Amino acid sequence: MWYVNLRASKMRFFLALVLASSLLLAAVPRATLRECWLRRTRGVKQGVWLDVEPRIDLGGLFEPELRTVLEELAGRVRREPVDARLDSVTRGLIPELHGQELDIEATLTAITAARAMSRVAPIFRPVPARVTGRDFPEHPIYAGNPARRAMALVINIAWGEDEIPRLVTVLDPLGVRATFCPVGEWLERSPAHRELLAELADAGHEVGNHGWCNRPMDEMTEDAAAEDLRMSGRLLERVTGRMPSYFTPPYGAIGPTLLRASAKMGYRTVLWSLDSIDWKQEGVPRIASRLLTRDHNGAIVLLHPTPQTAPALEVALPELLARGYRLLTLSELLSPDPRPEDIR
């Protein structure tokens, strides 16, 4: 009957399958089967990979093999630290950069604990520079470390309060945070000015000290300069809840006495390496062109709240971002711990 034949066919197929499986297993060495089983049960879980370029698949590796992979990677990704030094021309401080090295033990632990089919990011630890900015407290900074593909926008304020919101409307959509440095006298003049600065700080922009009055401070006595910075610093702290770290001297006027006073008050004096000269208001194309033709790694860009500054930034910033620059606050630019992608 047909169902008897069908049943016999199924039986023959099953027997053939068992025979083929037996032959296949017999052809595979027992040691190989044992190793496959051990890799699945005791090795790194299947589908685990290390998030580096090029991607490294780790599934099934035993610890000694994994350690060998990580030791080879460590030599490839190590970045040596860069000591702080003084520029031979300006005598300004060029900030240090910490290096980095792969933390093999921490990365190994993360890999062995990872779930199947998951990505593991390598874990790094810093390699500190031996010489840092603390070794040169009275030297100003004109730019960040030239190894960094990044720039900082510094906006000094003694007037132009109506233009500041316009600047923010250009910066915020691009995710750019600037360092705003008002003089204390401007801040004290109006509650609206204080409210505006507090809003900037709350939005993630940085605040620096520009002194109390919009006048050169290089001929002040050390005590007078220190008192000037103390007054403006206290007001800035009261408005923003944080004492600023940086002092941008009015008109860029500096001297040994002022630099000593600034360091004594706990500030790092900051100047610039790219001057927009926007205060002359020579036209939006001229300001934008100046920013785009003088761009460089680590640039500190000097700006003011003029009617032409926001339109010029609207032209220049997207192009600078397209060129691969990150646009940061002073604290971010001068940090010794940059993102790996900044180092170019």
Tokens of 207: 């605040």
What are the domain boundaries of the chain?
2-42, 49-134, 139-342
- Residue in 62, 253, 278, 53 with CA at minimum distance from that of residue 153: 278
Is 301 in contact with 153 (CB distance < 8 Å)?
yes
Q: What is the CATH number of domain 139-342?
A: 3.20.20.370
Written in H, E and C, the secondary structure of the chain is: CHHHHHHHHHHHHHHHHHHHHHHHHHHCCHHHHHHHHHHHHHCCCCCCEECCCCCEECCCCCHHHHHHHHHHHHHHHCECCECCEECCCCCCEECCECEEEECHHHHHHHHHHCCCCCEECCCEEEECCCCCHHHCCCCCECECCCCECEEEEEEEECCCHHHHHHHHHHHHHHCCCCEEEECHHHHHHCHHHHHHHHHHHHCCCEECECCCCCCCCCCCCHHHHHHHHHHHHHHHHHHHCCCCCEECCHHHCCCHHHHHHHHHCCCEEECCCEECCHHHCCCHHHHHHHHHHCCCCCEEEEECCCCCHHHHHHHHHHHHHHCCCEEECHHHHHCCCCCHHHEC
pTM of the model: 0.85
Q: Is 100 left (phi over 0), alpha (psi -120 to 50) or beta?
A: beta
Per-residue pLDDT 10s for the chain (344 aa) are: 444 454 545 555 544 444 444 444 444 455 576 767 777 778 899 999 999 989 999 999 999 999 999 999 999 999 999 999 999 999 999 999 999 999 999 999 999 999 999 999 999 999 999 999 999 999 999 999 999 999 999 999 999 999 999 999 999 999 999 999 999 999 999 999 999 999 999 999 999 999 999 999 999 999 999 999 999 999 999 999 999 999 999 999 999 999 999 999 999 999 999 999 999 999 999 999 999 999 999 999 999 999 999 999 999 999 999 999 999 999 999 999 988 777 87
